[in-house]
Structure 1
Amino acid sequence: MTEISGGPYKRPFRFNIQCSSPEQVDARSWADLARQVEDLGYTTLTVSDHLDEQVAPIAALMAAADATTTLRIGAMVFSNDYRHPVVLAKEAATLDALSGGRFELGLGAGWMTSDYERAGLPLDPPGVRISRLAESLAVIKGMFADGPLTFHGAHYQVAGLSGTPKPVQRPHPPIVIGGGGRRLLSLAAREADIIGLNMNMAGGVIDASLGPNATTAATEEKIGWIREAAGARWDELT
């Protein structure tokens, strides 16, 4: 039992390992790595979603699932700006179906400046990216649900589209949202199943300036934001 932000919080530990940049990218080496992760007792193998020197997450996660039997797979996390939510929902549901319900859907607003600059992608202000992520979540959950989805937002328009296939895990695979700012963590508290506590990455780079945002006090403040936004959902969150 652990005391967090003024109240007891009991969850069993489970351990995840991030495998985004293996030394070798070939079928046998990747399968061997996934089986080793499973044999060592990790619960989940995740792959990040950047445009630098790493494997692409969707294909890598499916290969890891094929090589294992109990290991869960997930993105930590998909950048919302790189994929339309209708496309990502289809990919995610397919991953969940083909892995036998072992997929966890990690989502983020996008943050690494170098990804955007090198790929020539427009980098909108953080507030715009978070608003777009909020709409994306609504679209993805709608695509996982029964029946056709019609959605009219500032960023996405969907006209009577039914999502297929449906994920094995219902109503949807566990949704992971990570962040370090109040608005994004509050969104996660309302919409996600698992929340990843991070530094505030609004600056778009990892450097020494992030230190003050990684202290115990800063982390306690973030947990407080999550608790406030989650309300009755607090006890359900990981």
Structure 2
Amino acid sequence: MDEHARAFRFGVVGESIRSGAELTATARRAEELGYATLTLRDHFVRDPFGDQLAPMVALASAAAVTSTLRLGTMVLANDYRHPVLLAKEAATLDHLSGGRFELGIGAGWLRTEYEAAGMPFDAAGTRVGRLEESLRILRSLLSGETTSFAGDHYRVDGLTVFPRPERCPPLVVGAGSARMLGIAGRHADTVGILPRALPEGAISDEITERLPDTIARKADLVREAAGDRDVELSMMVTPRFGADPRAAAARVAVTRGWGASSTDLVLDMPSQFVGPPEHIAEQMTERRERYGFTYYQVPDSAMEEFAPVVALLAGRTRQA
């Protein structure tokens, strides 16, 4: 598929959900508003996103109260679960949801969370190597194959998964570094382009990680690694609405600590969408042509305000 002709879709990240009632209300409302997915984060410490429900269990509950909404993880830390056990949970959740599950997974990055749980926070190269092996195992098991694998980190001997999915649930990988982008391009169905993770266990807040040339380079790395595979490009964004795009961009620049002098940079950042809904829809259409992004996720706090953009763009291809 020509990536620039791919239809737009939109998701909600339910990061402020703290109860079962909030979960079901958010899932139903997201479906009602035309969002394609509800995703949940994977953290068991309060910072930086607040308390979170366990994603796989919570998504099963969300599946029970919706019929078309897809359910996903944004994203699981690979080190928290063995891939064989994760494949079993993913296959079960995909079955319970009628094939609506999307498995998002990353290498793990939050050092303080590892330390709080007494888990070793290995060097980035080790964590990333484990993730690549895990992706190979997950793809094989969730495709219904009898799986044997011998790597540096995992060994699997003749396993299958039940219930067998009718098709492998889409694998989603968030990536910011060159190696991770390559792995994502080779193994994922959807790649979330991120700022790079830092060795000390945080996500970079450098403005350079968000500039057009950097994002274009990262998208190109994914495409080069994917070869002939059709890979969807995704990004999580927090839109800033307002009648005047420049004024909204200035507020973003100041809030993020980049200073008002960075307003023009914010206006051109692929991850920043500012102004009224019609202007944001135009920005997304232009950036699909420039970078190939067609799947955007917004925090649940922005779900209602962003809904007019969903109404303008969801399901629209370039030819529409």
The residue correspondences of 1:111-122 to structure 2 (distance < 5 A) are 111-122=109-120
Tell me by how many angstroms 1:175 deviates. Answer: 0.8
Is this contact kept in 1: 2:141–2:160, CA < 8 A? yes
| Higher Rg of the two aligned structures | 2
The residue correspondences of 1:127-206 to structure 2 (distance < 5 A) are 127-168=125-166, 170=167, 172-203=168-199, 204-206=201-203
Output the amino acid matched with 1:45: L
- Aligned Cα root-mean-square deviation (Å): 1.6
TM-score normalised by the chain length of structure 1: 0.90
* Higher RCO structure, 1 or 2 (CA under 8 Å, sep 6+): 2
The residue correspondences of 1:1-238 to structure 2 (distance < 5 A) are 9-22=4-17, 24-26=18-20, 28-52=21-45, 53-168=51-166, 170=167, 172-203=168-199, 204-206=201-203, 208=205, 210-233=206-229, 236-238=230-232
Tell me by how many angstroms 1:9 deviates. Answer: 2.2
Output the amino acid matched with 1:66: A
- C-alpha change, 1:8 and 1:69, in structure 2 (3 Å) is closer
Tell me by how many angstroms 1:21 deviates. Answer: 2.8
Alpha-carbon distance between aligned partners in 2 of 1:45 and 1:8, rounded to the nearest angstrom:
23
Unaligned runs of 5+ in 2: 46-50, 233-320
TM-score normalised by the chain length of structure 2: 0.67
Alpha-carbon distance between aligned partners in 1 of 2:152 and 2:74, rounded to the nearest angstrom:
26
Alpha-carbon distance between aligned partners in 2 of 1:56 and 1:16, rounded to the nearest angstrom:
19
- Give the number of equivalent residue pairs: 225
Q: Deviations over 1:131-185 (max 9, x none)?
A: 10111011112222335322111101112222111123x1x01111111111111
Alpha-carbon distance between aligned partners in 1 of 2:145 and 2:190, rounded to the nearest angstrom:
26
- C-alpha change, 1:143 and 1:220, in structure 2 (3 Å) is same
Alpha-carbon distance between aligned partners in 2 of 1:20 and 1:87, rounded to the nearest angstrom:
24
Q: Deviations over 1:185-216 (max 9, x none)?
A: 111111111110000013422464x3221211
Identity of aligned residues (%): 46
Q: Deviations over 1:11-43 (max 9, x none)?
A: 211101100331x413x3321221011111110
Is this contact kept in 2: 1:21–1:55, CA < 8 A? no
Is this contact kept in 1: 2:136–2:187, CA < 8 A? no
Q: Which deviates more, 173-182 or 138-147? A: 138-147
Is this contact kept in 1: 2:195–2:204, CA < 8 A? no
Equivalence for 1:3: none
Output the amino acid matched with 2:28: R
Output the amino acid matched with 2:208: P
